[in-house]
Amino acid sequence: MLPTIVVYKKLPQDVLDDLRRQAQVVVLEAEPGASHEALADALGAALVDADGAIGASVKVTPQMVARAPRLKAISTISVGVDNFDLADLTARGIVLAHTPDVLTESTADTVFALVLSSARRVVDLAEWVKAGQWHGSIGPEQYGVDVHGKTIGIVGLGRIGGALARRAALGFNMRVLYTNRHPNEAAERAFGARRVELGELLSQSDFVCLQVPLTPQTRHLIGAAELHAMKRNAILINASRGAIVDEAALIEALSAGTIAGAGLDVFEQEPLATNSPLLSMRNVVALPHIGSATHETRHAMARCAAENLIEALAGRLTRNIANPEVVARLRARAY
């Protein structure tokens, strides 16, 4: 008998067709104008009879999972797993798969695009030109700052952080500082990266780039004190998770000139409210969470997530597992 899979995010047609050849597929499609809460409610109801689920951007709560006695695996089309209670899934023996490798390069491209566009005021000046303000030679009021040869501080030197360090060191001759739970010896050898404490990184970096996952330990990792520790001409870049930064403190720091600017792809609440002060600040580049949003990468992520789910339901998944202890426990029982 084929397993039942709930799909709660639109998939490329070829990926969906492949899933339908291997499972009974229930597709949840949000009605036009439907709220996020309505989709979450529909997902909770659909999970009751499901063996697996695949999707993204919906918080899957322990209450939802408790109603799903057959659920064996969930596959998220993302690298981050902060929409799940990992401890609860692990306790219930439910495998959580994610897509950590396929989006690395695209996301690192986005991060460095934020570095460049913030430093060289690309968005601000493009709007200035379109508004008909360019009447002659530009002056210091339109100048940006150099990126090449500066110091970049990367908070979290994992896959994406490492790809960012490669772009910075080899492409722009930047000095690379980083913080990480463990030394990244490969980055130290290849890019001259130097591991330092967070305080030193903040005080020495011209660009501070956040590349850590959202956990209880990293929530509001960057607050008022950390922003005050940065250089006044420094730029904060966040393309990881919005809640890693205390947004109210960031708004205050940008308004007061505590730091020079920010390049943001993520926010504490998404979509960003239309009345957010961040949207009226010329020293802020704000993007709609596009980190991995290219046609090629999003297709690869969906394909990877679908393969993860089918393999997990068959008991064959050996990679891309967010809670590998579940798989180890299941294998131990089989012997």
Active site residue 241: yes
Outline where DSSP puts E strands in the chain: 4-7, 24-27, 52-55, 73-76, 95-97, 151-155, 175-179, 194-195, 207-210, 235-238, 261-264, 284-286
- Write down the H helix ranges in 192-266: 198-204, 224-229, 247-256
Q: What is the spatial distance between Cα 281 and Cα 276, in angstroms, rounded to a whole number?
A: 10
39, 116, 260 from 207: Cα distances, Å: 38, 10, 10
The pairing of beta strand 194-195 with beta strand 261-264: unpaired
46, 138, 208, 226 from 239: Cα distances, Å: 32, 31, 11, 18
The dihedrals phi and psi of 14, each to the nearest 5 degrees, come to: -65, -35
Q: Which of 98, 121, 195, 289 is catalytic?
A: 289
Active site residue 270: yes
Three-state secondary structure call for residue 71: coil
- Does residue 265 contact residue 103 with C-beta atoms inside 8 Å? no
Q: Which of 127, 185, 197, 270 is catalytic?
A: 270
The pairing of beta strand 194-195 with beta strand 175-179: parallel
The contacts of residue 26 (CB under 8 Å, 6+ apart) are: 4, 5, 6, 7, 46, 50
Q: What is the spatial distance between Cα 254 and Cα 227, in angstroms, rounded to a whole number?
A: 9
The dihedrals phi and psi of 149, each to the nearest 5 degrees, come to: 80, -5
Active site residue 141: no
Give the bridge partners for 209, in sequence order.
Answer: 154, 237
The contacts of residue 105 (CB under 8 Å, 6+ apart) are: 163, 297
Q: Which of 175, 195, 241, 303 is catalytic?
A: 241
Q: Which residues are catalytic?
A: 241, 270, 289
